[in-house]
Chain A
């Protein structure tokens, strides 16, 4: 039931996003997606690239992931501990579940503090430089999903 509501909300989100984008410069349209069963099954772009995905997640100013999460990193750089560690997440979640969490965590949990990485609608007072743009492109989402799925080992 919850998922039916979410699916409807996501379709609405995608539809509104497309409309919203027309008013923006440069014009942008989000790839539409469907949320069902706590997951977005269909990839948003071409198959993700594992190496690129790792680089995106580890780049703190690009993705901010490591502000909140500890992720496996051979170089042991500093990382935050606001959110669950991501080691082992590839064993816990399917590609579709991972995609939904990156696209917009609030579709699963309205109180989530994880930023919506692929959403432009319903945000307030976004700085002009970012207005109307999702944090990540569809391809970047797929790249991150590809790398996260390789994280099978639980945290030590």
Chain B
């Protein structure tokens, strides 16, 4: 009996990540889209009505614009984004092979801008960075999220998972309290979704602009009166990796529309 238990425990440790416990089974995953009013759903689906299209268009121009001391555009290295960037966003955040850092799509774009284009980096949440990340993510629209959490990514995944379940802030809540245990219920006047990351960067009516996933996470953190870290903090990338794994299979909606 004891041997059996030990064997079982050993199997748990050795189990590949796809058997990782899910609070919401994969078949039960719902995009934030499903919690929108019919009007907002329509707005997201119609490229002419979706305000995020403005950023995608701007991103396309930036993709082809020479920048920095290298006088190179993104297109000079990567060619047509419609081919070269297809599916890329679905695999982010991703570990950088050289530095070992976990990089969000925004971080990777900034890295290319500084190291390859030799240009001044865009500020976080700047129109240009949002435009390029929206344009790149747009090339994966409709494709299933499929973040890799094996190998070098594993420790980032574990840190992100721990963060998701850690109570924080003066209100002493964790992410799961709202997005695993109470999705579908109402918080004040708002229906709580599963907190999926597949729409970002997204246009939020409350912001009246496009914003990154990180900006959305900050809204949740400040809602529970918790500390906010600077944009680009590694903790947010870890959390984003956990969210991407948690969303595995959901289609990318960028640019999404949200309240």
For window 48-91 of A, CB contacts with B under 8 Å fall at: 60, 64, 66-68, 78-82
**What secondary structure prevails in chain A residues at the interface with B?**
loop
B112 within 8 A of A: no
Interface range for B = 20 to 34
* Complex interface bits, A79-115 against B, C-beta within 8 A gives 1, otherwise 0: 1111000000000000000000000001000000101
Compute how far the CA of A123 lies from the CA of B167 in the bound complex, rounded to whole angstroms: 8
Interface range for A = 20 to 34
Known contacts A115-B173, A124-B167, A127-B170; is A82 also within 8 Å of B186 by CB?
Answer: yes
Cβ 8 A contact of A78, one of B170, B182, B189, B192: B189
Q: Determine whether the beta carbon of B188 is less than 8 Å from that of A116.
A: no
- Total A-B residue pairs with C-beta atoms closer than 8 Å? 67
Compute how far the CA of A129 lies from the CA of B181 in the bound complex, rounded to whole angstroms: 28
Cβ of A62 to closest chain B Cβ, rounded Å:
13
B226 within 8 A of A: yes
Q: What residues of B have a CB within 8 angstroms of the CB of A129 in the complex?
A: 225
Known contacts A125-B226, A126-B225; is A113 also within 8 Å of B169 by CB?
Answer: no
Q: Determine whether the beta carbon of B222 is less than 8 Å from that of A127.
A: yes
Compute how far the CA of A60 lies from the CA of B188 in the bound complex, rounded to whole angstroms: 8
Known contacts A126-B227, A128-B227, A130-B225; is A82 also within 8 Å of B169 by CB?
Answer: no
Q: What residues of A have a CB within 8 angstroms of the CB of B188 in the complex?
A: 60, 66-67, 78-80
Chain B, residue nearest A132 (CB): B170
What residues make up the interface of B, taking CB atoms closer than 8 Å to A?
166-173, 177, 181-182, 185-189, 192, 222, 225-228
